[in-house]
Amino acid sequence: MLQPRTYTPEQVAEILQLSKNTIYELIGRGEIIAKKIGKVYRIPASSISFVFTGMDEDILKAQKSDEAALDKVNETIRDVRQKLWQKSRSF
């Protein structure tokens, strides 16, 4: 079974070009999600994806799913409006 990629705070600091202390502050504020294993924090790659996408990975996936369904949603809205309009004309 593949394990998701995780990083240490030091690795994340290097990737984001921030100080190690800043990474620990972000972890403390909950801006970067990390799991403490023993004395060492592990940070999942998804926790830092917002830096590259502007969004959390789950939100990005949801947005892409919404965008893919947008045409179908608009079609359904048009159909409902047309049915309501036809129904209002029958009164």
- Which residues are bridge partners to 36 per DSSP? 41
Give the three-class secondary structure for 53. helix
Q: Is the pLDDT of residue 62 over 80?
A: yes
Q: Is the pLDDT of residue 10 over 90?
A: yes
- Residue 53 belongs to a domain: no
Q: How far is CA 15 from CA 47, 55, 78, in A?
A: 13, 17, 47
41 lies in the same domain as 77: no
33 lies in the same domain as 63: no
**Average of per-residue pLDDT across 32-52:** 87
Give residue 13's domain range.
Answer: 1-48
Q: Is the pLDDT of residue 48 over 70?
A: yes
- The number of domains in the chain is 2
18 lies in the same domain as 39: yes
Task: Output the pTM of the full model.
Answer: 0.55
Phi, psi of 43 (to 5 degrees): -115, 120
Q: Decide which of 28 and 57 is more confident.
A: 28
